[in-house]
Structure 1
Amino acid sequence: MPIPSDTGSSAERPLAGVRVLAIENFVAGPFASMWLADAGAEVVKIERRDGGDFSRALTPTRTDDEGRDRSLAFLRTNRNKKSVTLDLKHAEGKRVFKELAAQADVLIENLRPGVMDELGLGWPVLSALNPRLVYVAISGFGHDDILPSPYTQRPAFDIVGQAMSGLMHRAEREHDRPVYLGFSLADIEAGILGAYGAMLALFQRHVTGKGKMVDISLYDACVALNEVSVAMYSATRKPAKPGVHPVTAPFGTYRASDGDIVIAVVGEPTWERFCIALGRRDLLEDERFKDGISRRRNIEALDANIAPWLSARTREEAVDALTAVGVPASLVNTEADLFDCPHVAARNMILTLNDPAWGPVQVAGNPVKLSGVPEAATGLPPTLGEHTDDVLRQWLGTSDERIAALRGSRVI
């Protein structure tokens, strides 16, 4: 669903005037910087001269009129940014980068821990150069600068965070093997936390005048998401059954006459309303169902009482009856359903990017809504190196002669 472009001035956006350098690939870092860009920050993406962000080459791709491959993966995570190509292994490239870092408010990187230090561009160097810099590092297991991990140097993609945190044991059915959750949960959560950490550090800088290093781990992000299982195992020393809520019922997917819905009963007031909706006040007197733990323990008997009511109703009828009395319930949507959902349209949660190769492509919108702040523009992701000259001129006052020399030396 297309939305109007941002009609307000950039000064109306909360991060207007904030400069962000992003050295990023794939998902976690790009999501963090994209949300800052949506909020009005000027995000300059520093990319390799040869290929740029690795996600530019991820399939599926389509070729534009100029023969450039444009990846759908890159479209998802890089709107409203600028691209500068820079060889960080070249001495002059390092010099230019340091000059840019001296002008930046925030740096976001999701390279392997130690790579920036090996380049001579890590937190100790850049913070000495620019004491106000907020340095956000996103990695699989964190950096040794703050809290060292024995796994720091292990490679990690999203699925590793999901697996090690126990989340992959939560979704499967009992006796099935653990399953990947099917989307980049660890990466996206790490990106959210990276943006959140940047905001915390910027707020503290307003008080102290000094920046901070923000250290985000995919593994840590997923452990935080699995908090209910951590608490329950600590209290009971028993693993929660997979695919179900550990402390309440009915809570999960249920079958109506024409398809699936979800029902979420948490707490006894909601249970009472649920029984009223079913016309089964007698269930309130059944000792097997006296509280959430009891209902979970006797789930088969509980489901046997719910099934006849559901089988006599369509999905819409069941959801309407439950929500009318205050029981959380909904349809189980497919991806296609999102494009027809009135909530998604009203909340601008699907944006349209008019890409020169893909044409109109819909991507997920920004879920953070602020009063008095217009929706973010749906600017296309930058082509590789598209803004190199402009950024060098505007941030550093670089002359045309020096830009030509840098290009001639293959630094940019």
Structure 2
Amino acid sequence: MTMRLGEVAGADLQRFGKPLDGIRVLAIEQMQALPYATQMLARLGAEVVKIESPGIGESGRAALPMMSDPLGRSVGVTFLRNNLGKRSVTVDLKHPEGREIVLRLAEKADIVCENFKPGTAGRLGLGFEDIAAVNPRAIYLSVSGFGNTTESPYASWPAYAPVAEGMAGLYDFKRDPNTAPVVSPLGALGDSGSALFAVIGVLAALRHRDATGVGQYVDISMFDAMVALNDAGISYWSMGLKDPGLAPLINHSFRAFDGYFLIQCARPHMFAAMADLVGKPEWRTDPRLSGPQAWFDHIEDILRPGIEEWAADKSRLQACAALSGVGVASGPVYNPGDVIDDEHVRNRHMLVEMERTDGEPAPILSPGNPVKLSRVAEGPESRVPWVGEHTAEVLGTELGMSREEIERLAAAGAIGLETP
């Protein structure tokens, strides 16, 4: 089933709390690479306060497609899937009093994070040294295209997910040399993959702070993260296989009557089981199919015709169930609609449902939390914040500001007081 906002899976586990309960995150963030990471921290129990620009909010709110919030303002799809469970405070970071507000909030934070272009946070007076001066226990996280703490020839380049993916070699994997690379074939892997490394770094830094009492700088380069995810291509290349698409094994898709399914087979006993299943026992002793390299060489002229003849009257799921039953790894090739309808996805609470606020009947779906902990309940999820929805609340409760002071700062342009 999809999880609706406010629902809890495993409610009997709520007594255990969440592992990051009490951890405060101050996030100066936009788009996805950092917001996905802080959303994961929120799902693990952290309190996330998101700093946005007055009026327009962060740039992810402008991504298409979009919906309208209760006041008719744009809320883009990138924002909608990366900001569940956060509070929004609008501050003009270039205003002296706005910067002071952020530093005061940073004094109370366990994690302060940003994903500007390298050097921007420092120029705003909100770099690592600035935060460490007011809160030496804070973990400072930066996520950028090419990192902040070492020299890079690309340091000044703006970078979105496909830039990091392409530079890391992911678009050359199994590519026909006569065909142009397909850009963004995996969605925003460069963002979400980098975010997961950011979460790992932050959790390690928190553990280190537990032992030493001192925070540190966690510096995540999206390019680095994608290089790490291209481990197979790099390792193959280093061992002389310049095109990973030529790896000696069956690692291909095949047609069933309702679409495609994939098979990965690299072991003789699996090949023998597959040959028997598809009605081709002679493949076991065919000298042309003597091992993984030979199987690869004869995918098109021998194996594909035989496998697809067998699968012609089967659905993707039927074919994969039969292959799995004899120990051959396989899976249906799904589109997003198939994923939404999948029983496993429903049972694992891997979709979160958010009702729209602009009159459209179908809810917005976004992925749930893939980290399943046996002593931690899932949820409850809360909706994304509207622009500046929590400014007065956070400044009042966290910094003890009076309503008069908050209104003065708004009049001076240091903060925004958008009506939720």
Give the TM-score normalised by the residue count of structure 1: 0.92
* C-alpha contact (below 8 Å) 2:24/2:109 kept by paired residues: yes
The Cα RMSD (Å) is 2.1
* C-alpha contact (below 8 Å) 1:86/1:411 kept by paired residues: yes
Query: In the alignment, does 2:277 pair up with 1:277?
Result: yes
CA distance in 2 between counterparts of 1:234 and 1:200 reads 31
Change (3 A) 1:210 1:253: same
* C-alpha contact (below 8 Å) 1:247/1:292 kept by paired residues: no
Query: How far apart are 1:256 and its partner, in Å?
Result: 2.3
The Cα offsets for residues 354-400 of structure 1, whole Å up to 9 and x where unpaired, read as 23225522111111111121112221110111111221223222233
Task: State the partner residue of 1:193.
Answer: 197
Task: State the partner residue of 2:418.
Answer: none
Give unpaired runs (5+ residues) of structure 2.
416-420
Higher RCO (CA 8 Å, separation ≥ 6 residues): 2
Change (3 A) 1:95 1:312: closer
CA distance in 1 between counterparts of 2:124 and 2:69 reads 34
Query: How far apart are 1:247 and its partner, in Å?
Result: 2.7
Task: State the partner residue of 2:109.
Answer: 104
CA distance in 2 between counterparts of 1:101 and 1:290 reads 64
CA distance in 2 between counterparts of 1:112 and 1:317 reads 49
SS in 2 for 1:22: strand
Change (3 A) 1:179 1:34: same
Task: State the partner residue of 1:397.
Answer: 400
Task: State the partner residue of 1:236.
Answer: 240
* C-alpha contact (below 8 Å) 2:111/2:139 kept by paired residues: yes
* C-alpha contact (below 8 Å) 2:14/2:376 kept by paired residues: no
The Cα offsets for residues 317-341 of structure 1, whole Å up to 9 and x where unpaired, read as 3222101112121222222112221
Where does 1:222-371 land on structure 2 (aligned, <5 Å)? 222-236=226-240, 238-241=242-245, 246-300=246-300, 301-311=302-312, 313-357=314-358, 358=360, 360-371=363-374
Query: In the alignment, does 2:87 pair up with 1:86?
Result: no
CA distance in 2 between counterparts of 1:87 and 1:314 reads 56
CA distance in 2 between counterparts of 1:351 and 1:224 reads 29
Change (3 A) 1:131 1:57: same
* C-alpha contact (below 8 Å) 1:353/1:361 kept by paired residues: yes
Query: How far apart are 1:162 and its partner, in Å?
Result: 1.5
2:3 partner amino acid: I
Query: In the alignment, does 2:42 pair up with 1:37?
Result: yes
CA distance in 2 between counterparts of 1:10 and 1:64 reads 34
* C-alpha contact (below 8 Å) 2:55/2:387 kept by paired residues: no
SS in 2 for 1:33: helix
CA distance in 1 between counterparts of 2:15 and 2:51 reads 22
1:404 partner amino acid: E
Give the TM-score normalised by the residue count of structure 2: 0.90
Identity %: 36
* C-alpha contact (below 8 Å) 1:289/1:302 kept by paired residues: no
Change (3 A) 1:60 1:313: closer
Change (3 A) 1:123 1:64: closer
The Cα offsets for residues 226-264 of structure 1, whole Å up to 9 and x where unpaired, read as 1111011111152233xxxx4343212101244311112
* C-alpha contact (below 8 Å) 2:52/2:387 kept by paired residues: yes
Change (3 A) 1:160 1:203: same
Query: How far apart are 1:72 and its partner, in Å?
Result: 2.6
Q: 1:154 aligns with which of 153, 157, 175?
A: 157
Alignment length, in residue pairs? 406
Task: State the partner residue of 1:128.
Answer: 133
CA distance in 1 between counterparts of 2:270 and 2:38 reads 40
CA distance in 2 between counterparts of 1:269 and 1:220 reads 38
The Cα offsets for residues 177-223 of structure 1, whole Å up to 9 and x where unpaired, read as 11111511111101111111111111111111111211111111111
* C-alpha contact (below 8 Å) 2:67/2:356 kept by paired residues: no
CA distance in 1 between counterparts of 2:270 and 2:200 reads 33
